[in-house]
């Protein structure tokens, strides 16, 4: 049998061909490296490409090449955190997620460019669909590498909107699981309150496969209390572009045509209150965790400004913000009553032109803060670039959310 080019396969497909003896991990990794070599002059997704393929265990990801956002420590490859001062920095140990990946048989193909310390100052990566546009960030290289078929999956992180937004801009799935579901030890910490490890993939089954590796013993999933999709425009709705708003409405119409119950009701006020609060908690956490680094090393003006904003938030104000966050989390049962998932924009529109900004994460702030699982999916396009929406599930209902997405997307793709 003559197979398609290995770099074009999903992880699920590639794993099947490898198990059947029709493909080896070495062949697949070499094919991905060749694809990277051909495309990297335009896309610039990779901070480091691993030239060597070693034998890997016979786990569920045996022979599957994975890209890692360069804020994830690797003992065998440099980890620069998107910061010039850390160029060539070599961690001593693997992050916990890397340990799980290696044990599952994955090939760590390399490290992908990130915005500086997973915040806002962008790296060199361009959007593979139109290189005049940003891929989004901060998980820029991971999203672009998956979208451009360099690897079937790549890990990224989200503390504000760093998975969902680049996933949307590049037209792939960004999956941010429930806060705490995947291990964060060994990741560049920017917020102990909100840092979340996530996965980019071109196919939902790949996300289920990766979930079985990164959450080998997940907490039991709650039963969904309903089948409805709740429209979650949030008070940020006015910041969405006309094309994005139209795409959202067309998705709602398609859901209704497919017989999926879609409802609208005001979000609990405690959740809407989070938008400014999340911004403040993030700045404060960045001030605490990255401030000491910024005092010792040269960093971008954007990071200096973010740290300065965090420094202005008093302990009293921070405690009040954490109380508002706790109240928002307490409102989640009310939010999800009778609801299978929420539907929201994934970003304010298409990827902005230019590489200076990674775009606005406003549609992710609430959900990252309360820690609900989120999955972006492409829906429509505008000016040749993809638009994206996201489905948001109840905490710990991660696999249910992925299954719901599989079901819904197969029903409405018209």
**Position among 25, 128, 136, 349 found at the interface with a second copy (CB under 8 A):** 128
Q: Which two tokens stand for residue 261?
A: 């119950």
Residue 17: DSSP 8-state? H
**Position among 133, 150, 176, 399 found at the interface with a second copy (CB under 8 A):** 399
Cis peptide before 249 (omega within 30 of 0): no
CA distance 101 to 382: 36
CA distance 89 to 109: 18
**Position among 211, 285, 360, 398 found at the interface with a second copy (CB under 8 A):** 211
138 is catalytic: yes
Phi and psi, residue 338, nearest 5°: 75, 10
Residue placing its CB nearer to a second copy in the complex, 9 or 164 = 9
CA distance 151 to 157: 17
**Beta bridge partners of residue 153, listed in sequence order:** 66, 201
Nearest distance from C-beta of residue 106 to a second copy, angstroms: 12
> b/e map of 381-406 (b: 16 or more CB within 10 Å)?
eeeebbbbbbbbbbbbbbbbbbebbe
R_g of the chain computed on alpha carbons: 20
Residues 40-99 that bind a second copy (CB under 8 A): 58-60, 62
Nearest distance from C-beta of residue 413 to a second copy, angstroms: 5
Nearest distance from C-beta of residue 103 to a second copy, angstroms: 11
CA distance 368 to 395: 11
**Beta bridge partners of residue 353, listed in sequence order:** 133
Phi and psi, residue 313, nearest 5°: -90, 115
Nearest distance from C-beta of residue 70 to a second copy, angstroms: 23
**Position among 94, 96, 148, 398 found at the interface with a second copy (CB under 8 A):** 148
Binding mask 234-273 for a second copy (x = CB under 8 A): ------------------------x---------------
Residue placing its CB nearer to a second copy in the complex, 39 or 121 = 39
111 is catalytic: no
Residue placing its CB nearer to a second copy in the complex, 5 or 292 = 5
Q: Catalytic amino acids?
A: 69, 138, 162
- Kindly list the residues in this chain that would bind a second copy in the complex (CB under 8 A): 1-5, 7-10, 12-13, 15-16, 19-22, 38-39, 58-60, 62, 128-129, 147-149, 171, 202-205, 208-209, 211-212, 258, 378, 380-381, 384, 386, 399, 403, 406-407, 409-411, 413-414
């Amino acid at each position: 049998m003559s197979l398609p080019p290995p770099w074009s396969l999903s992880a699920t497909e590639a794993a099947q061909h490898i198990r059947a003896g029709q493909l080896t991990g070495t062949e697949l990794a070499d094919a991905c490296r060749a694809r990277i070599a051909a495309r990297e002059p335009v896309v610039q997704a990779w901070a480091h490409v691993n030239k060597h393929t070693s034998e890997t265990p016979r786990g569920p990801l045996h022979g599957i090449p994975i890209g890692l956002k360069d804020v994830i420590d690797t003992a065998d490859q440099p980890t620069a955190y998107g910061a010039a001062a850390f160029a060539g920095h070599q961690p001593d140990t693997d992050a916990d997620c890397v340990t799980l990946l290696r044990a599952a048989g994955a090939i760590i193909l390399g490290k992908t460019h990130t915005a500086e310390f997973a915040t806002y100052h962008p790296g060199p990566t361009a959007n593979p669909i139109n290189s005049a546009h940003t891929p989004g960030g901060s998980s820029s290289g991971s999203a672009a590498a998956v979208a451009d078929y360099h690897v079937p999956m790549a890990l990224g992180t989200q503390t504000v909107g760093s998975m969902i937004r680049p996933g949307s801009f590049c037209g792939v799935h960004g999956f941010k699981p429930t806060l705490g579901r995947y291990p964060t030890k060994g990741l560049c910490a920017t917020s102990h309150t909100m840092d979340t490890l996530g996965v980019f993939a071109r196919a939902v089954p790949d996300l289920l496969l990766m979930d079985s590796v990164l959450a080998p013993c997940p907490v039991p999933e709650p039963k969904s209390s309903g089948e409805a999709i709740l429209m979650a425009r949030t008070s940020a709705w006015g910041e969405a572009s006309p094309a994005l708003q139209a795409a959202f409405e067309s998705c709602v119409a398609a859901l209704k045509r497919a017989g999926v119950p879609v409802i609208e009701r005001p979000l609990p006020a405690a959740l809407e209150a989070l938008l400014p609060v999340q911004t403040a908690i993030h700045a404060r956490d960045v001030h605490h965790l990255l401030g000491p680094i910024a005092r010792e090393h040269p960093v971008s003006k954007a990071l200096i400004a973010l740290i300065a904003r965090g420094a202005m938030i008093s302990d009293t104000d921070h405690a009040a913000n954490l109380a508002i966050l706790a109240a928002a989390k307490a409102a989640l049962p009310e939010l999800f009553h009778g609801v299978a998932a929420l539907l929201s924009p994934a970003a304010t529109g298409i990827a902005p032109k230019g590489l200076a900004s990674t775009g606005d994460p406003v549609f992710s702030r609430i959900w990252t803060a309360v820690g609900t699982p989120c999955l972006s999916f492409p829906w429509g396009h505008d000016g040749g670039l993809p638009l994206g929406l996201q489905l948001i599930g109840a905490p710990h209902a991660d696999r249910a959310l992925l299954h719901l997405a599989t079901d819904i997307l197969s029903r409405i793709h018209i």
